[in-house]
Each structure stands twice: as C-alpha cells, then as structure tokens.
Homo-oligomer: A and B are copies of this chain.
C-alpha cells in the first residue's frame, strides 16, 4: 500500500500536481472530498470549509490543549467535532488502500502508516501568476498576495498546534518540489517514478 500526502504553498500548483499524480497512479485523490464527507454528517458545508481549510485554529482551538483532538477542554465544540471527524475520515480512507491526500495535515494524521510526504512550493512571482490565471471577481494582485501570505501562515501556525514537525521544513518531507516556471503536467512522470522508488508497504 502507498499513501502519498501533498502539502503545499498557496498558489504553488500542489493541488493540481496531487490530482494529476493520483490520476497517473490510478489512485483516489482526497481533498475537498474529505470535507464533503465530513460535511455530509449534518454540518453546514461553508463552516466545515472554514474550519478545515482557512481558519486559524488557535482562535478556535486553544494552544494549551494542543496535540490532541480528544481534550475535554475545548473552545468551540462544533469546530473540534469537525476536526475530529475529518481526522477519522482521513484515517478511514487511508485504510482502504493506495491514495493521495492533499493538505488537511494528512502527513501528521497518518504518520503511523509511513506515508510518502511531498511538499510543493514556488517563488512568489510564479505563485501569483498561477493565481492570476484563476482570478475571481473582486480579487486584485494585491489581495491575492495578501491571501497567499495569510493562508500559508495559517497552515504553518495550525500545524504547530498538532506537532513539532514544522510545516514546509524540508526535513519533514521525502521530497520538496519547486514548481516555479514549470508546467505541472510535465512534472507528473518523474513523480510517478519517485513513488515507484518506494517499497509498497512504505
């Protein structure tokens, strides 16, 4: 069994790379799907998205109770329930066989299964260019740059609550890929070879 986790900087194309890799490997790719499964348990989808993807956990999940989802001293019951539920969903999905997980701290949550952990990053200009290709109404170059910084800071800060492994520090990943100036689809063949270089019970 091979479990792959993709952590990524906002705008680096990590999500696209993960989806293409999963497709090339014939494995399922779990990203928004995880959230949807959690959300399907009767909680409003937009709030689930907020808690699991954007919210700075330290405001909903006090530092003093960090590193476990099971503390009785929670701050926001609904948020903790979503995070716990998401954690369980990720664990259950990983039990089913080969899979690619994008974000959601799956590298930390699935640590016991020895996943292959990949970090995707790029320089600011490349990330901005990639974001501008999918610009939404009301967004500006400036607002995207702010969002980019904010999201990455939140990812880093949230991970700190769960683990000593620093988000984005190369030591915590098997491979770190710089997508600056690269076409995502052209990076897939080498990533498939990379995954193949691991024994299958890894």
By a beta-carbon cutoff of 8 Å, the part of chain A in contact with chain B is: 119, 121, 123, 168, 170-171, 173-178, 180, 182, 186-187, 189-194, 196-197
Smallest CB gap from A123: residue in B:
B171
Main SS of chain A's interface residues?
A: mixed
Smallest CB gap from A173: residue in B:
B178
- Ordered by A's residue number, 19 sampled pairs between the chains whose C-beta atoms are within 8 Å are A123-B171, A168-B170, A170-B176, A171-B178, A173-B176, A173-B178, A174-B177, A174-B178, A175-B177, A176-B176, A182-B197, A186-B197, A189-B193, A189-B197, A190-B193, A190-B196, A190-B197, A192-B193, A193-B193
Besides A121-B170, A186-B197, A193-B193, 15 more A-B contacts (Cβ < 8 Å) are A119-B170, A123-B171, A168-B170, A170-B176, A170-B178, A171-B178, A173-B178, A174-B177, A174-B178, A175-B176, A175-B177, A175-B178, A187-B197, A189-B197, A190-B197
Copies of the polypeptide in the assembly: 2
Measured between beta carbons, the chain B residues less than 8 angstroms from A180 are 174
Question: Which one of B168, B170, B190, B196 lies within 8 Å of A194 (CB-CB)?
Answer: B190
| Least Cβ–Cβ distance between A169 and chain B, in angstroms | 9
Measured between beta carbons, the chain B residues less than 8 angstroms from A171 are 121, 123, 178
Question: How far is it, in angstroms, between the C-alpha of A197 and the C-alpha of B194 when the chains are bound?
Answer: 13
Measured between beta carbons, the chain B residues less than 8 angstroms from A187 are 194, 197
Question: How far is it, in angstroms, between the C-alpha of A181 and the C-alpha of B189 when the chains are bound?
Answer: 23
Measured between beta carbons, the chain B residues less than 8 angstroms from A182 are 197
Smallest CB gap from A178: residue in B:
B174
